[in-house]
């Protein structure tokens, strides 16, 4: 039996309605957890005053410099916390398996550990993709981590470090998977654990992995290195299934929702209700495959496109990742080694060349894509641009040499 | 004293031990899928195996009792394995179709909505807010709970022209990311500086360097080294606040919400796009933020009524044109919608393409 509950008239209004209520969950925990009683007190205060009351600090586990998000209350009277049992409310960021799969036994063990050492509140998952064990006293951080670590789980990233990666459900349950997303994400992150657990980069660095251009992991606008599946041979068409789809959905539906929605006009409906595809014009956008997924599918010669530099607002504004590798196979051990080496090059270049608090996208904007590619050892490719330069403000002293390089590459 | 325990630096765990056996067996060998009803996916493998997935909404921040209840359901009505989507929905996988309905019935009886698939409004991806963040302008879990109450029908039904993916963010860093509709804090006043604290707490040169408009400069205030802000230049972004908490940007009255539409991560049809500002100055009004819900519903209702099949909100707005977007949603168009940030001229209409 915990201490007496504080009145929470504002939060109480979030217990009604059909969606599951986190407030009801917090109150249930508060029945026998003093930290939760006081957490509710502080949260209610925030709702009343519309102000936040947490500050960061330095809390960690032995051997690591990151992975714990320290939170100390700033809600004090005469220097003493108003809600003392929630005066420390730290979070442990823990990396899930790729695709966020769990068996029930593992989930129950998480609950037992967190009931023993923490508040009993766990978020599945944070925006970076971590399991967030929320609400822990400074003293309990180490023993809680030790038990989670013994289960085979490790802390994720925080601060200027490699962050927790994300990969889609992919090959485990999706017909559009173009490579082994889980293996790729694991390899990228586990290759950079030193830069994750001992934060010393200019700023954060994120890997995200999506199995096809639907990009369910939102990698293009969030990841410093986005790995997105694609294919370079013809997409596969089962004409009997196309006919069956047309017969069921109707020609008008197919014309309006498949044929004319192709961004490069690469599709045409034949007179016999089969599909004609102009594959060289296809940009692998996925739309027609999404609509007719039984009839259409990615080709057999699959691989990945890499984009670099996606990020959110601060400081210079939102940036999408841009293509740095249009296509590479991702099948053999050698393919994976190639990606591991390239990712290391990029991370090292970022560590050495970015300014403090600068993401890869801002760095590329500052130094130019060509300098970045040269720095990490990648060759230029017209797939990296939407269109060529539109201004004459450049010097081309060595134009002939550069043109000769193109001729040489084209001859290969 | 005993030796300290050093961490086992195991990194991301392997997927395989946590994978449903049918997913393991057919890894990389899936053929096609269908959605028999909202919230249910049926995937068929090249081997002929089938797996049914039932997707349910959760509150994301879950107490251990809720998690144990969800696991009891997984053991009793499913096959002992679950996974989570990027939007905090839980997914149960079952290898027999006959298990789907009893699983749905149980989840619904326990208050977990079934949906979030296909052209529905899925769960809002969100940030921490007052519950745990050190720089929040609002609460995320609460605003999302209130909105999802209003959007319950749209989560459990697939009635939208295409999928709708929403996000919220408690500051302008925008951890919530891009969304068809994004609901983000927008500060409207420059930071209030506690000059007694700046020298103790802040590394002044790095704070100066953080400002996107070079509005911060070192200054001596009351005989102490501090920082001052050129309030005419300041765009109230709050970038100075995380490295320098004495530059308080959050304001109970003047930190508002802005609403953005047309963010899209997928490459389907159009290239990925960033979201665009459509409304601002919306009050930060806990515990249920009714003014936010009202505008979101205005946008969703107009989109639902007017967009063609497969158009995302941004694609719909691009087709009908922004004048019609503001007309159909009833939202005011202001000078603040006209981009004046660097590169902003790219967002102006440099053509005679006008719709009448």
pLDDT digits (tens, 9 = 90+) for A77-91: 999 999 999 999 999
Q: What is the pLDDT of residue A1?
A: 61
* In a shared domain, residues B197 and B184: no
Count chain A–chain B contacts defined by CB atoms under 8 A. Answer: 351
CB contact under 8 A, B270 and A177: no
Rounded percentage of chain B residues whose pLDDT exceeds 70? 100
Q: Element (H or E) spanning B299, and its range?
A: helix B290-306
Classified as helix, coil or strand, B250 is coil
* A166-232+302-411 CATH fold: Sulfite Reductase Hemoprotein; domain 1 (3.30.413)
CB contact under 8 A, A107 and B82: yes
Considering only CB atoms, which chain A residues are within 8 Å of B212?
314-317
- Does B153 score more than 70 pLDDT? yes
- Does A407 score more than 80 pLDDT? yes
* In a shared domain, residues B77 and B134: no
Residue A315: is the preceding peptide bond cis (ω within 30°)? yes
- Residue B117 falls within a domain, yes or no? no
Whether A87 and B286 have beta carbons less than 8 Å apart is answered as: no
Across the interface, which of A25, A62, A172 has its CB nearest the CB of B19? A172
Classified as helix, coil or strand, B331 is coil
CB contact under 8 A, A180 and B71: no
Q: Name the minimum distance, in Å, from the CA of B213 to any CA of chain A.
A: 9
- Residue B235 falls within a domain, yes or no? yes
Question: Is-same-fold flag (A9-150; A236-297)?
Answer: yes
User: What residue in A sits closest to B263 (Cα-Cα)?
Assistant: A221
The Cα–Cα gap between B310 and A291 comes to 9
User: What residue in A sits closest to B91 (Cα-Cα)?
Assistant: A101
Of B220, B312, B218, nearest in space to B270 by CA? B312
Tokens standing for A133? 């064990």
Average pLDDT over residues A337-342: 98
Q: Name the minimum distance, in Å, from the CA of A88 to any CA of chain B.
A: 11
- Residue B320 falls within a domain, yes or no? yes
Residue B65, chain A, CB below 8 Å: the answer is: yes
Alpha-carbon dihedral B131, B133, B139, B143, rounded to 10 degrees: -100
DSSP output for A236-298: EE-HHHHHHHHHHH-HHHHIIIIITT-TT--EEE-TTS-EEE-GGG-----HHHHHTTTTEE-
CB contact under 8 A, A98 and B113: no
Q: Name the minimum distance, in Å, from the CA of A258 to any CA of chain B.
A: 9
Q: Which of A8, A13, A18, A19 is most worth mutating to test chain B (most B CB atoms within 10 A of its CB)?
A: A19
- Residue B118 falls within a domain, yes or no? no
The Cα–Cα gap between A205 and A188 comes to 11
Residue A198, chain B, CB below 8 Å: the answer is: no
Q: What is the pLDDT of residue A228?
A: 98
CB contact under 8 A, B267 and A283: yes
- With cut-offs at 50, 70 and 90, classify the pLDDT of residue A241: very high
Surface of A (200-239) touching B: CB under 8 A:
213-222
CB contact under 8 A, A123 and B4: no
- How many domains does one find in chain B? 3
User: What residue in A sits closest to B51 (Cα-Cα)?
Assistant: A173
Q: Name the minimum distance, in Å, from the CA of A136 to any CA of chain B.
A: 12
- Residue B2 falls within a domain, yes or no? no
- CA pseudo-torsion sign A27, A33, A37, A40: negative
Q: What is the pLDDT of residue A412?
A: 82
- Does A172 score more than 80 pLDDT? yes
Neighbours of A172 (CB within 10 A): 30
Whether A104 and B74 have beta carbons less than 8 Å apart is answered as: yes
Residue A392, chain B, CB below 8 Å: the answer is: no
Classified as helix, coil or strand, A164 is coil
Of A133, A85, A142, nearest in space to A111 by CA? A133
The Cα–Cα gap between A383 and A21 comes to 47
Question: Domain coordinates of chain A in residue numbers?
Answer: 9-150, 166-232+302-411, 236-297
Q: What's the full length of chain B, in residues?
A: 356
- Residue B123 falls within a domain, yes or no? no
* In a shared domain, residues B263 and B303: yes
Rounded percentage of chain A residues whose pLDDT exceeds 90? 97
- With cut-offs at 50, 70 and 90, classify the pLDDT of residue B175: confident
- CA pseudo-torsion sign A351, A354, A358, A363: negative
* In a shared domain, residues B230 and B291: no
Considering only CB atoms, which chain B residues are within 8 Å of A172?
15, 19, 23-24, 27
The Cα–Cα gap between A253 and A201 comes to 52
CB contact under 8 A, A217 and B86: yes
* In a shared domain, residues B223 and B270: no
* In a shared domain, residues B330 and B212: no
Tokens standing for A137? 């006293």
More confident of the two residues B172 and B207: B207
- Does B282 score more than 70 pLDDT? yes
Q: Element (H or E) spanning A122, and its range?
A: strand A118-124
Q: Name the minimum distance, in Å, from the CA of B328 to any CA of chain A.
A: 23
* In a shared domain, residues B85 and B211: no
Q: What is the pLDDT of residue A235?
A: 98
Across the interface, which of A182, A221, A257 has its CB nearest the CB of B177? A221
Surface of A (38-97) touching B: CB under 8 A:
39, 43, 46-47, 49-56, 61-64, 69, 71, 89, 91, 95-97
Kind of pairing between the strands at A207-210 and A225-231: parallel
CB contact under 8 A, B71 and A107: yes
Alpha-helix runs per DSSP H in B57-214: 64-76, 100-109, 140-150, 152-156, 195-201, 204-210
Whether A110 and B88 have beta carbons less than 8 Å apart is answered as: no
Q: Name the minimum distance, in Å, from the CA of B224 to any CA of chain A.
A: 23
The Cα–Cα gap between B78 and B96 comes to 9
Residue A11, chain B, CB below 8 Å: the answer is: yes
DSSP output for A13-48: TTS-SSSPPHHHHHHHHHTT-HHHHHHHHHHHHHHH
Average pLDDT over residues A65-76: 97
* In a shared domain, residues B290 and B213: no
User: What residue in A sits closest to B178 (Cα-Cα)?
Assistant: A221
- With cut-offs at 50, 70 and 90, classify the pLDDT of residue A317: confident
Q: Name the minimum distance, in Å, from the CA of A359 to any CA of chain B.
A: 13
Of B247, B263, B287, the domain-final residue: B247
Average pLDDT over residues A343-348: 98
Residue B287: is the preceding peptide bond cis (ω within 30°)? yes
* In a shared domain, residues B140 and B278: yes
Considering only CB atoms, which chain A residues are within 8 Å of B7?
61-64, 145, 149, 154-155, 197
Considering only CB atoms, which chain B residues are within 8 Å of A64?
7
The Cα–Cα gap between B40 and B55 comes to 6
Of B207, B127, B160, nearest in space to B310 by CA? B160
* In a shared domain, residues B57 and B77: yes
Average pLDDT over residues A157-165: 96
- Residue B10 falls within a domain, yes or no? no
- With cut-offs at 50, 70 and 90, classify the pLDDT of residue B1: low
Question: Which residue range forms the structural domain that includes residue B324?
Answer: 129-188+252-341
Q: Helices H, strands E: what count in chain A?
A: 15, 18
User: What residue in B sits closest to A98 (Cα-Cα)?
Assistant: B15
CB contact under 8 A, B43 and A174: yes
- Does B274 score more than 70 pLDDT? yes
Surface of A (132-191) touching B: CB under 8 A:
134, 145-146, 149-150, 152-155, 165-166, 168-169, 171-175, 177, 180, 182, 185-186, 189-190
CB contact under 8 A, A197 and B81: no
- Does B2 score more than 80 pLDDT? no
Q: What's the full length of chain A, in residues?
A: 412
Considering only CB atoms, which chain B residues are within 8 Å of A115?
64
CB contact under 8 A, B177 and A294: no
The CATH code of the domain at A9-150 is 3.30.70.2500
User: What residue in A sits closest to B265 (Cα-Cα)?
Assistant: A218
CB contact under 8 A, A54 and B133: yes
Surface of B (170-189) touching A: CB under 8 A:
172-178
The Cα–Cα gap between B225 and B256 comes to 31
* A236-297 CATH fold: Alpha-Beta Plaits (3.30.70)
* In a shared domain, residues B293 and B145: yes
- With cut-offs at 50, 70 and 90, classify the pLDDT of residue A93: very high
- Residue B346 falls within a domain, yes or no? no
- Does B281 score more than 80 pLDDT? yes
- Does B342 score more than 90 pLDDT? no
Across the interface, which of B57, B136, B173 has its CB nearest the CB of A312? B173
Tokens standing for B34? 């269908």
* In a shared domain, residues B277 and B326: yes
Rounded to the nearest integer, the mean pLDDT of chain A is 97
Q: Name the minimum distance, in Å, from the CA of A96 to any CA of chain B.
A: 7
Q: CA of B80: how far to CAs of A301, B27, B73, in Å?
A: 36, 18, 9
> Terminus-to-terminus CA distance in chain A, angstroms?
75
For A23-39, the pLDDT digits (tens) are 999 999 999 999 999 99
Q: Name the minimum distance, in Å, from the CA of B335 to any CA of chain A.
A: 19
């Amino acid at each position: 039996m915990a201490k007496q509950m504080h009145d929470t008239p504002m939060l109480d209004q979030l217990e009604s309605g059909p969606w599951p209520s986190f407030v009801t969950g917090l109150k249930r925990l508060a029945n026998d957890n003093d930290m939760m009683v006081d957490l509710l007190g502080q949260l209610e205060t925030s709702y009343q005053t519309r102000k936040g009351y947490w500050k960061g600090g330095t809390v960690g586990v032995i051997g690591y410099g990151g992975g714990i998000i320290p939170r100390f209350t700033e809600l004090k009277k005469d220097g003493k916390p108003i809600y003392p049992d929630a005066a420390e409310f730290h979070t442990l960021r823990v990396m899930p398996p790729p695709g966020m799969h769990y068996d029930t036994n593992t989930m129950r063990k998480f609950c037992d550990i967190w009931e023993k050492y923490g508040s009993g509140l766990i978020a599945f998952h944070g925006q970076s993709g971590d399991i967030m064990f929320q609400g822990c006293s400074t003293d309990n951080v180490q023993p809680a981590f030790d038990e989670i670590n013994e289960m085979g789980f490790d802390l994720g990233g925080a601060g200027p470090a490699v962050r927790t990666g994300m990969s889609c459900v992919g090959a485990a349950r999706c017909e559009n998977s173009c490579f082994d997303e889980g293996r790729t994400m694991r390899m990228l992150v586990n290759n950079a654990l030193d830069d994750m657990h001992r934060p010393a980069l200019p700023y954060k660095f994120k890997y995200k992995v999506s199995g096809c251009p639907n990009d369910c992991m939102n990698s293009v606008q969030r990841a410093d290195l986005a790995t997105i599946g694609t294919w370079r041979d013809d997409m596969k068409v089962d004409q009997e299934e196309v006919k069956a789809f047309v017969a069921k959905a109707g020609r008008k539906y197919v014309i309006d929702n498949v044929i004319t929605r192709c961004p490069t006009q690469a599709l045409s409906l034949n007179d016999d209700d089969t599909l004609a595809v102009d594959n060289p014009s296809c940009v692998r956008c996925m739309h027609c495959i999404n609509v007719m997924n039984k009839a259409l599918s990615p080709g057999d010669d699959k691989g990945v496109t890499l984009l670099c530099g996606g990020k959110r607002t601060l400081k210079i504004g939102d940036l999408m990742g841009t293509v740095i590798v249009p296509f590479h196979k991702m099948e053999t051990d050698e393919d994976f080694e190639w990606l591991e080496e390239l990712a290391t090059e990029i991370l090292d270049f970022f560590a050495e060349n970015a300014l403090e608090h600068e993401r890869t996208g801002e760095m590329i904007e500052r130094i130019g894509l060509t300098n970045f590619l040269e720095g990490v050892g990648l060759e230029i490719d017209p797939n990296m641009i939407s269109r060529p330069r539109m201004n004459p403000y450049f010097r081309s002293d060595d134009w002939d040499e550069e043109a000769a390089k193109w001729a040489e590459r084209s001859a290969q | 004293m005993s030796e300290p325990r050093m961490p086992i630096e195991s990194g991301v765990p392997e997927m395989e031990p946590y994978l449903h056996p049918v997913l393991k067996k057919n890894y990389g060998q899936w053929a096609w899928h269908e959605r028999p009803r909202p919230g249910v996916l049926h995937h068929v493998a090249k081997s002929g195996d089938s797996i049914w997935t039932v997707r349910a909404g959760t509150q994301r921040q879950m107490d251990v009792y809720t998690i144990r209840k969800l696991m009891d359901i997984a053991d009793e009505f499913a096959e002992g394995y679950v996974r989570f989507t990027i939007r905090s929905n839980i997914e149960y996988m079952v290898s027999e179709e006959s298990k789907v309905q009893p699983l749905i019935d149980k989840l619904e009886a326990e208050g977990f909505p079934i949906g979030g698939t296909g052209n529905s409004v899925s769960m809002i991806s969100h940030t921490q807010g007052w519950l745990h963040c050190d720089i929040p302008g609002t609460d995320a879990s609460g605003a999302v709970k209130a909105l999802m109450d209003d959007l319950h029908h749209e989560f459990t039904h697939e009635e939208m022209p295409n999928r709708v993916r929403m996000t919220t963010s408690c500051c302008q860093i925008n951890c919530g990311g891009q969304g068809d509709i994004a609901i983000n804090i927008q500060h409207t006043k420059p930071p209030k500086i506690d000059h007694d604290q700046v020298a103790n707490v802040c590394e002044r040169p790095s704070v100066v360097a953080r400002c996107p408009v070079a509005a911060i400069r070192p200054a001596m205030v009351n005989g102490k080294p501090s920082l001052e802000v050129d309030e005419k230049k300041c765009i109230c972004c709050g970038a100075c606040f995380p490295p320098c908490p004495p530059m308080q940007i959050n304001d109970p009255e003047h930190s508002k919400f802005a609403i953005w539409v047309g963010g899209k991560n997928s490459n389907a049809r159009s290239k990925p796009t960033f979201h665009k500002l459509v409304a601002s100055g919306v009050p930060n009004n806990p515990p249920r933020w009714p003014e936010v819900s009202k505008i979101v519903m205005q946008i969703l209702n107009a989109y639902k009524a007017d967009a063609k099949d497969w158009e995302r909100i941004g694609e719909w707005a691009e087709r009908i044109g922004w004048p019609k977007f503001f007309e159909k949603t009833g939202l005011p168009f202001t000078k603040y919608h006209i981009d004046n940030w660097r590169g902003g001229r790219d967002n102006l209409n440099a053509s005679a393409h006008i719709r009448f």
